[in-house]
Amino acid sequence: MKLTIHHVAVSVSSRQIVSNIDLAVQPGEIVGLVGPNGSGKSTILRTVYRMLRPSAGFVQLGDDDVWQMSPRTSARQTAAVVQESTHDVAFTVAKMVQMGRTPHKGFFAGDTDHDWQVTTTALARVQMLDCANRPFNTLSGGEKQRVLIARALAQEPQLLVLDEPTNHLDIHYQLDILELVRSLGITTLVTVHDLNLAAAYCDRLYVLSAGTIVAEGTPEQVLTPHWLRDIFLVNAVIQRHPVTNRIQLALFPLSHRHEGG
């Protein structure tokens, strides 16, 4: 399902945090938001998963304005894995993931065999099935993150909104989770700090700076030495990954000299 953000602005306590945001994610596309700390990436995501109402503009999923739909309808379509909540709850891991099924169930309906099957499959996919009966709050940071991703999968969404999904994950799971996201074919809007992961897994990127979009395009088009210097304040040598053939950045501080450029 297509996501479109039209001329969105967000103000908090009468301060404008982001403005003039125009962004589209085509069905099945993985689009990354990249930008320095505080540039507004999470704020944009919050307008999509209905945490923060835009002060101007609108957000559309397919033909529908997400802020006009009921929270339940939105939750059936959009699953978010975000940083804001520590989720330090004593529910079991299985219960946490099963909660992803809630938007699909009647108000007093119990769990069907199908709900359990979806829950089990999601837990297996992130290799957390062995921990199904553990209290969630006893897991490590990376294990928690994988369970939250399983919960999003159990929601069977049309749109995935991921705020730093590789946070806390070791390198194996960083690649595993992003490969998983890519294999799902679900429309995905994701924030990524690691620009090499963004280059490897996103179809297109939007670069944010001080609350506005300053560049948009494929990783090759936007992760250029010019933008990396101007926006991220780092030098870069751009290479090709020998195995994936995606671009790969060798980054170094502005203060270092580089003989090739």
Ligand X SMILES: Nc1ncnc2c1ncn2[C@@H]1O[C@H](COP(=O)(O)OP(=O)(O)OP(=O)(O)O)[C@@H](O)[C@H]1O
Show Cβ contacts of residue 197 under 8 Å, excluding neighbours closer than 6 positions.
Answer: 166, 174, 178
Cα–Cα dist 156/52, whole Å = 23
Q: Where are the alpha helices (DSSP H) in 38-87?
A: 41-48, 71-77
Radius of gyration of the chain (CA): 19
List 3, 5, 17, 154, residue binding ligand X (CB under 6 A): 17
| Contact status: 80 vs ligand X (CB under 6 A) | no
Closest CB to ligand X among residues 15, 256: 15
Selected range binding ligand X among 10-18, 68-76, 116-124, 213-221, rule: CB under 6 A: 10-18
Closest CB to ligand X among residues 42, 60: 42
Closest CB to ligand X among residues 40, 100: 40
| Tokens 């039209």, residue located | 6
Binding string, 19-58, against ligand X, x = CB under 6 A? ----------------x-xxxxxxx---------------
How many residues comprise the chain? Answer: 261
Cβ–Cβ < 8 Å for 56, 7: yes
Question: What b/e readout covers 232-251, taking b as 16+ CB neighbours within 10 angstroms?
Answer: beebbeeeeeeeeeebbbee
Closest CB to ligand X among residues 123, 222: 222
Task: Output the smallest distance, CB 84 to ligand X, in A.
Answer: 10
Closest CB to ligand X among residues 41, 144: 41
Q: Where do contacts with ligand X occur on this chain (CB under 6 A)?
A: 12-13, 17, 35, 37-43
